[in-house]
């Protein structure tokens, strides 16, 4: 390696000062371009991508907070004023989902016990889900034990999992 370095130094010394200046300037410019393209540009691109991602996450948080407020408003005033006429909780969930136009969105209904039912919805219209939950609560006295609602890519659509408890 020393031989190559000595040969390069010797070739450098044989160049005229003007050529040395030109080659030195070109080397510095190439070095700066490499630093820019290898280090600076990827960092700037990544920062821009992260800013967009943060904005999307903030929008999702706002949407979820609004949805939570709406669910709380709709679940207030529980108490059931309509007779269930001996219907099981499973039958109430099924018939009320059909009335709320959610039969296509209901993917799974699973009885958990005599008085509890789990329901999975996919690609449901959020407004229909909110109205359905309000009707279950106010009309039949059905309580929401747990809820998990996820926003879908299509605006206004959600996937959800609920656990309902019937009135005693």
Q: What is the pLDDT of residues 43-60, one digit of tens each?
A: 999 999 999 999 999 988
Q: What residues have CB less than 8 Å from 116, skipping those under 6 apart?
A: 89, 145, 163, 164, 165, 166
Q: What is the maximal distance between C-alpha atoms in the chain?
A: 106
pTM (2 d.p.) = 0.50
Place 83 in a pLDDT band, splitting at 50, 70 and 90: very low
Give the lowest-confidence range in 2-16, 23-37, 71-85, 131-145: 71-85
Upper half-sphere CA count for residue 16 (Cβ side, 13 Å): 2
Decide: helix, strand or coil at residue 106. Answer: strand
Instruction: Specify the residue for token string 């206004």.
Output: 156
Host H or E run for residue 165: strand 157-165
Q: Which two tokens stand for residue 27?
A: 């080397």
Residue 117 has pLDDT above 60, yes or no: yes
Q: Do residues 160 and 123 lie in contact, with contact meaning Cβ atoms separated by under 8 Å? A: no
């Amino acid at each position: 390696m020393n031989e190559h370095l000595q040969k390069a130094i010797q070739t450098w010394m044989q160049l005229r000062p003007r050529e040395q200046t030109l080659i030195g300037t070109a080397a510095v410019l190439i070095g700066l371009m490499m630093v820019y393209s290898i280090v600076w540009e990827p960092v700037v691109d990544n920062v821009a991508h992260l800013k967009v991602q943060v904005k999307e996450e903030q929008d999702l948080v706002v949407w979820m907070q609004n949805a939570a407020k709406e669910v709380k408003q709709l679940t207030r005033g529980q108490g059931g004023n309509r007779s269930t006429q001996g219907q099981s909780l499973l039958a109430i969930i099924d018939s009320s989902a059909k009335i709320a136009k959610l039969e296509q969105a209901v993917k799974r209904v699973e009885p958990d016990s005599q008085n509890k039912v789990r329901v999975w919805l996919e690609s449901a219209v959020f407004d229909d889900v909110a109205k359905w939950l309000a009707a279950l609560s106010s009309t039949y006295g059905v309580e929401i034990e747990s809820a998990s609602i996820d926003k879908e890519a299509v605006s206004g659509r959600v996937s959800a999992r609920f656990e309902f408890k019937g009135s005693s």
